[in-house]
Chains A and B, each alone.
Chain A
Amino acid sequence: MLGTLINKELKGILLSPKFAVSFGLCSILILLSVFIGIQEYKSSVTQFQTAQQLTDQQLRETAGWMRLATKAYREPSPMQIFVSGLSYDIGRFSPVNAFSSVRLTGSTYSEDTIFALFRIIDFAFIVQVVLSLFAILFTFDAVCGEREDGTLRLVFASAVPRAKYLVAKCVGAWLGLVIPIAIPILVSMLLLFVYSIPFAGGDWLRLGGLLGASLLYFSFFIVLGVLLSTLTRRPSVSFLFGLVCWVLAVLIIPRAAATVAGQIVQVPTVAEIEGMRDGYSTNRMNSFNEEFSKNWEKWAQEDHAAERERDSADDQNRMWTRMQAHDSARKVVQQEIDQYAARLDEGLRQKKKAQMRLALSLARFSPAADYQLAAMTLAGSDILMKDNYEEAIGAFRTQVMDLRDKKMAEAGPGQGGGIMVSISSESGIQISAPKAKPLDLSGFPEFVRPRISAGQALSSVVVDSGLLLLGLILAFGGAFAAFLRYDVR
């Protein structure tokens, strides 16, 4: 009996004209999005490689360790073919040098702003917006439509249990919609092979997770349509409710949640934090210079009192120890400044975290937000990507700066690459600027991008997929309860 009912439901969907239209549209969209995704991925890989080569070359040509400045680039991931997430919003690289702190800048959208106007179309977007709408379109009249046509009374004239009927409705609609959509998805995976995209085992796991989350999300909207059709008497009304639910879940709740959270938990801008850091740094350095100049005066007086001879070997040594003393004292101050900056950054991060927690807990009322968050996390292009990258680049910067300090100390004074101005009574003033000679880059650290294993990614989407599953179960239970009391006349 269940088989017959499911069969009937399947035929009803597959043979309807709206099925052909929407199936065709969805197939085109999915294939188009994956095709575009592949092209964009390839071009960002090329961009990444070129940029890295240029940076390496530039590094080799740097005139001296003191001027050392390099960049660390964010590496494109093949999962961005399916979920672009925030890859285009967040900076592609961070400067790594002694003068500025680590911060990802130069996002694709800020550099090539034209792409920001309409954004990117990807698989996750199509599932989130288009497929959910079509799911409602196919199931909004599941029960009330049959009532209006009068077929519901006919069915229940036979000895059909209500429970079985409803299960058949859901299962039939589910099979009729999921199986056809699986075809373009499989074809799009073939495209990955055709274009020989380097998809590793972890990426397949992630993709599997993404498809699972998409399935849960899509199923939720299928069942939601059935639920609405059991709550209403007329399909036109249930359709309207379906559309309103869709608009709220997909378009409104996530946006509203983020903005409301942004207003409740206010976070200072990066510019403000940088202003604070620079202010502290300038003040601290100035007072240090003032204090330390007293030492120099004292030493000069000592020299004068002892009537030491200038420019003797002894004098040179004394100068060198003094300069080293100056330098180590300056380093202590620099450390203080760095610590202060780290505290500021930490404070900012905490506030942002609080804001994010609030926003996400509000947004998670919407299954569309759950799905989006899960998809971004699986693809590794989520909100935390920026912090992860900045942390990794920070570690890289420390290594680079340590190496720089070491090399500069080895080279001794005047060899670091800075401009030296020396004054002596015989030759007057002399400027010595460094001659460009290639650096010995042996032992230069390599930047390792932060790696989040597929297993970690999968485990961090437990909450969102759990919420999707919960929504699905609730919708099904609701439909079941409502249909048992449904007036079939």
Chain B
Amino acid sequence: MLKALIEKEIRDIIGSTKFVITFAVCVLLVFLSFYVGAGNFKTSQAQYEAAKAQNLRQYEGLTDWFNVQSTRIFLPPQPAAVIVSGVSNDIGRTVEVQGRGDLAAEDSKYSDEPLFAAFRFLDLEFLFQMVLALFAILLGYDAISGEKERGTLRLTFANSVPRATFIVGKLIGSAAAMIVPLVTALAAASLLLPALGVPMSGSDWARLGLVIFVGILYLTAILALSIVASAFTHRSSTSFLLLLVIWVGSVMIIPRTAVLVAGRAVDVPSLDDINTQKSKFAAQMFAEDAEKMNSFKPKVSENIDSMMKEVNEFMGGLADERDRKRREFGGRLDEQRRNRQQVQERLAFGLARISPATSLSLALSSISGTSLSLKDRYNENALSYQKAFADFQTEKLGAPVGGRMIRMGRPADDKEKPKPIDLSAIPVFDFAPETLSRSVGEASLDIGLLVLFNLLLFGGAFAAFLRYDLR
């Protein structure tokens, strides 16, 4: 009996014009999204390579490592970020690294190219959250009330069909009719990525698979919600309106409002303030050191080279000490800010998670490694690169240079032409993305919430239908 009901449901849905049209649009969009995503990846990859090459080219032909005072590192484009862009376009991608001093990531994609900020990208998160959710609503909004309007509900229950079996059949049938074609389309479209030259590693495939899985979880929750709505109303137009309101609320209103409320409730010290404090501190340190510099007396000796060496060592020592103190001071401020931000994030997400759309966004961005933690991660990577770069400068020059430092020295007496420096010796920045297991761990809460939404809504549909007035 259940089997017959499920089969009828699937036939009903797949045979309808509604399904054919909406599904065709969805498939088109899914393919478009992957196609455009692959193109985007290649564009960003080319930009990334060009920027990297240009960074090295600026030092070509130099003969003295002293002229390499800084180097730029870039956040490489990730294949997973093509699928779900998260905040990867909002955070700064370029960091100018010196052996000493603060690091700041600048040039986010959106501030670099405001055109894209105006229209944004067509990624899978957007498709699932907005477009495919509408598709799911369209499939489910008249599941019960529509049959009642057409009169087929009474006919069905003229036979000895248990209500429980009927609603289970509805739920399973409509879910199957949605999931199977959609997953097929998504899987087929995924093949576009390697075909268009996006290098997908094993973990990228796993991430993509998880993204699709979580997306489907969200869609089944929306489908179940639609069936609940159709089991609470007696006219399909009413249930559709109700669902549309819920959709607008949960996709567009709740997440945005929650973040803004949290922004009001939790004060985060502004970056301007912190930067001013830092530069004041630096100025103060420099003023103190200026005293020391003015009263500096090297041991007078005939050998000017040894005197210069002494000056360089003295100045280097002061700069090191200043740098250490500044780091300590700035690090404290940064940490305070980061802590407040985390409180703000927790509050914002806690509020926003009432809406399954939030859980979807958070889970998808975590899985693709483009969640808020990407910024911290990039920063950590940049810091450890700075260390490597400082070590490299120490090896070549005896001390980390930077900050428009001066150096005392005399041209070598031998007139031999100096050899150009070997640029490949500069340490290479290698961005290590979050490991797959940690990404999944980060997403687990939201995946759990989506599962919970599913259970609740399926249960709700079941309970609502048992009390439904069939006439």
Binding site for B on A (CB under 8 A): 17-18, 21-22, 25, 29, 32, 36, 39-40, 47, 50-51, 54-55, 57-58, 61-63, 85-86, 89-91, 99, 103-107, 109-121, 125, 129-130, 133, 137, 236-237, 240-241, 243-244, 247-248, 251-252, 254-263, 266-272, 274-276, 278-280, 282-283, 286, 293, 352, 355-356, 359, 363, 369, 372-373, 376, 382-383, 385-386, 419, 421, 423, 427-436
- Smallest CB-CB separation from A237: which chain B residue? B17
Question: What are 25 residue pairs bridging A and B, where the CB atoms are less than 8 Å apart in the complex?
Answer: A29-B253, A36-B260, A86-B114, A110-B91, A113-B372, A116-B90, A117-B87, A117-B372, A118-B259, A240-B21, A240-B22, A252-B32, A256-B32, A256-B122, A258-B119, A263-B40, A269-B51, A271-B51, A272-B50, A276-B54, A279-B54, A282-B58, A283-B58, A372-B118, A372-B119
Check if B36 sits within 8 Å of A259, measured CB to CB: yes
Interface residues of B in 8-41 (CB under 8 A from A): 17-18, 21-22, 25, 29, 32, 36, 39-40
A258 to B116, CA, bound (A): 6
Interface centre among A117, A119, A382 (most CB of B within 10 A): A117
Binding site for A on B (CB under 8 A): 17-18, 21-22, 25, 29, 32, 36, 39-40, 43, 46-47, 50-51, 54-55, 57-62, 67, 72, 74, 86-87, 90-94, 105-108, 110-122, 126, 130-131, 134, 138, 237-238, 241-242, 244-245, 248-249, 252-253, 255-260, 262-264, 268, 270-273, 276, 279-280, 283, 286-287, 289-291, 293-294, 296-298, 300-301, 304, 307-308, 310-311, 315, 341, 344-345, 348, 352, 358, 361, 365, 372, 375, 404, 406, 408, 411
A85 vs chain B, min Cβ distance (A): 8
Check if A431 sits within 8 Å of B293, measured CB to CB: yes
Interface centre among B54, B241, B341, B404 (most CB of A within 10 A): B54
Contact of B43 among A263, A382, A432 (CB under 8 A): A263
Check if A283 sits within 8 Å of B61, measured CB to CB: yes
Give the 6 A-B CB pairs with smallest separation, nearest first.
Answer: A279-B58, A275-B54, A433-B290, A89-B117, A116-B90, A258-B119
Contact of A269 among B50, B116, B242 (CB under 8 A): B50
Interface of B is mostly: helix
A150 to B210, CA, bound (A): 50
Check if B375 sits within 8 Å of A252, measured CB to CB: no
Given contacts A372-B119, A383-B115, 11 further A-B contacts (CB under 8 A): A22-B241, A105-B107, A107-B111, A116-B90, A119-B256, A121-B253, A248-B25, A282-B59, A282-B62, A430-B296, A433-B294
- A21-B245 contact, Cβ under 8 Å, with A268-B47, A271-B107: yes
A373 to B115, CA, bound (A): 11
CB neighbours of A257 from chain B (8 A): 119
A62 vs chain B, min Cβ distance (A): 8
A236 to B21, CA, bound (A): 12
Check if B39 sits within 8 Å of A263, measured CB to CB: yes
Check if B293 sits within 8 Å of A116, measured CB to CB: no
Check if A114 sits within 8 Å of B118, measured CB to CB: no
Check if B256 sits within 8 Å of A386, measured CB to CB: no
CB neighbours of B116 from chain A (8 A): 258-259, 262
A396 to B316, CA, bound (A): 35
A87 vs chain B, min Cβ distance (A): 10
- Smallest CB-CB separation from A40: which chain B residue? B260
CB neighbours of A428 from chain B (8 A): 297-298, 300-301, 307
Check if B55 sits within 8 Å of A275, measured CB to CB: yes
